[in-house]
Amino acid sequence: MNASPPTDVSLRWAPWWVLAFVALWPLPGPAETVLSLGAILALGALALSRFRGGIALLSHEAWALTTVLFFSYWLPELLSSPDAINPARALRESLLDLRYLPFLWLVAIAVAGERGRRITFGGLGVIAAVWTLGAIVQALTGTSPMYAALDALTRLFSDKGMCSASDLAALDRLSGVFGPCNLKLGLVLASLSPFVLHGAAVRFGKFGWYIAAALVGVVILLAGARAAWLTYALVLVFSGWRLLGWKRMGLTLVFGSVALVALGLGSPQVRERLERTTQAMSADAEGVDVALSGRTRIWSAAWCMIEKHPINGIGVRGFRKAFPACDPNPAVEAEWGKGAAYHAHQIVLEVLSETGVIGLLFWLSGVAMAWRAWRFASVEARDRARPAMLALAVTVFPLNTHLAFYSTFWGGLTLLLAALYAGSLLASGKAGTAPAPRRD
């Protein structure tokens, strides 16, 4: 007989690989190594399994959506390269990002089955919960034990630690496991919070959701990133109303907002950010720019770049080099200090300035395909994909400020969420069988 071995067994390690990648985010080098190795291993496994009933790994629809979402992100990079401000870097970035495609297939495969979803979604919730508890310890003691452990481990293999003494001295917010020179704790927790809240609600019901929401909320508040505050508020609204109902959710938000603001006012750093935010109510443009930490100046420069390069943009990661020529007020030191802005700090402006109208059209096509998949998915499919959908939606929410989506870290996080969404929404009910679409 020429029976093939079960193809689902060959990638049973996929959920654990995904979790290893996420757990290593505080260590960018090892995290990238895990990503690249995962892409290579996935390519090797898929090269065999695609000829041995590989559809058992992932439904046709999930293969297609994962691939489409990747190309809606990657093709703008490639098309921006020929006449970019820095053609060599733009082309290098686009070629390097090809590794994401097999890795995204691996991520989608990881959540295509019930076992994989349970491990992956549950594991993401546990990782974020551990980071949350570690940050609370830092808030109470002034020291992050997890960061200290990673820093000590780093020093075993290099001459210096993760951060310098000056970074520690300048720390003005909760940094957690990421450390004082990599202040992404609040933003990462906000994007991963749907998995924490979902897991708490499934295991402990409403009480578990309340406790998890409060703990994560305190850390995000003290982490100081106002973009994360808005992201988390969206998560609370869309996660809570399904569990609590609109009336209880409204009361919860009011009570939680009052409690968190009162708690935050006890922190000079949080109080300073709240005061800066209130300056946005001023009619004075300078006051608005101060409140937004110089964002209006960056956005003005981004519009300048869009006007000069409307078709395919200035090239991926070319914002820093193009900024001086578009700085609306070069004689005045910016709110962030000396030097050029690194990126547009807003997803639509980043896509338009770096990849042009062509890039925006590709991104919108990816959004349309993701929405169409959700629109025609069954109720069961929506329920199993809801944490990933919410995490992806709030991360790319356009009415917010953002990290650079074409950077290695934030781009990798966003693409990971996209693959989790595609793989879980269009998962096979059993090998080779796609979920029946909802007709309404």
Residues 359-368: tens digit of each pLDDT: 999 999 999 9
Q: What pLDDT is recorded for position 1?
A: 38
Q: What pLDDT is recorded for position 390?
A: 97
Residues 160-192: tens digit of each pLDDT: 778 876 666 567 788 999 988 898 999 999 999
Task: Find tokens 């005045």 and name the residue.
Answer: 332
d(CA 364, CA 73): 10
Task: Find tokens 């940094």 and name the residue.
Answer: 175
Q: What pLDDT is recorded for position 431?
A: 33
Q: What pLDDT is recorded for position 88?
A: 87
Q: What pLDDT is recorded for position 432?
A: 33
420 band by pLDDT with thresholds 50, 70 and 90: very high
Amino acid in position 133: L
d(CA 93, CA 405): 12
Using the predicted structure, report yes or no on whether residue 229 has a pLDDT greater than 70: yes
Q: What is the DSSP letter of 36?
A: H
Using the predicted structure, report yes or no on whether residue 57 has a pLDDT greater than 60: yes
Q: What pLDDT is recorded for position 56?
A: 73
Higher pLDDT, 263 or 309: 309
In the predicted model, what is the mean pLDDT of residues 50-59? 66
Residue 191 structure tokens: 């994007």
**Considering the chain, what percentage of its residues have pLDDT values greater than 90?**
60
In the predicted model, what is the mean pLDDT of residues 139-163? 86
DSSP character string of 233-272: HHHHHHHHHHHH-HHHHHHHHHHHHHHHHHHHHTSHHHHH
Look over the chain and give the mean of its residue pLDDT values, rounded to a whole number.
86
